[in-house]
């Protein structure tokens, strides 16, 4: 069973914090913070909790991570990807095939390549 984890983008420190609740109901950090790009604004996770994505606003890119069974994030091969100018938000389609990025610097939505990595 995978850990239930909440991910938070930390724009000022350029990383992502991961939180879960232990058996004593304490909020704990799972090996975090994890490095992201410059000024990550948002984090999105696919519905099966296999991958997480961060929109790095000032870095003009997005970081992609594989989520471990304990909630730890490991960058996927080729990350970060360049979706457009000033990405601010990310969404993953319901069947986890594509990632969509809202780019505030271009007022558009892009689908960066490659698509969502496949699980092992």
pLDDT confidence of 97, banded at 50, 70, 90?
confident
pLDDT digits (tens, 9 = 90+) for 61-83: 999 999 998 899 999 988 999 98
Mean pLDDT of the chain: 87
**In Å, what is the CA distance from 14 to each residue of 35, 67, 82, 86, 90?**
7, 19, 17, 14, 17
**In Å, what is the CA distance from 91 to each residue of 55, 87, 98, 101?**
10, 12, 9, 7
Instruction: Indicate the domain borders of the chain.
Output: 6-110
Are 61 and 85 a contacting pair, CB within 8 Å? no
Instruction: Give residue 61's pLDDT.
Output: 94
CATH top-level class of 6-110: mainly beta
The set of residues, in sequence order, having a beta carbon less than 8 Å from that of 92 and lying 6+ positions away, is 44, 45, 46, 47, 51, 53, 98, 99, 100, 116
**In Å, what is the CA distance from 112 to each residue of 29, 31, 32, 38?**
30, 28, 26, 18
């Amino acid at each position: 069973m995978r850990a239930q984890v909440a991910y938070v983008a930390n724009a000022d420190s350029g990383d992502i914090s991961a939180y879960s609740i232990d058996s004593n109901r304490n909020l704990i950090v799972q090996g975090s913070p994890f490095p992201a790009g410059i000024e990550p604004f948002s984090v999105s996770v696919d519905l099966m909790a296999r991958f997480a994505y961060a929109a790095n606003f000032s870095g003009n890119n997005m970081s992609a991570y594989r989520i471990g069974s304990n909630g730890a994030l490991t960058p996927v091969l080729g990350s970060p990807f360049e979706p457009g100018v000033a990405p601010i938000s990310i969404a993953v389609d319901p069947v986890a095939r594509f990632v969509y990025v809202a780019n505030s610097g271009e007022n558009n939505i892009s689908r960066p390549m490659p698509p969502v990595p496949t699980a092992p």
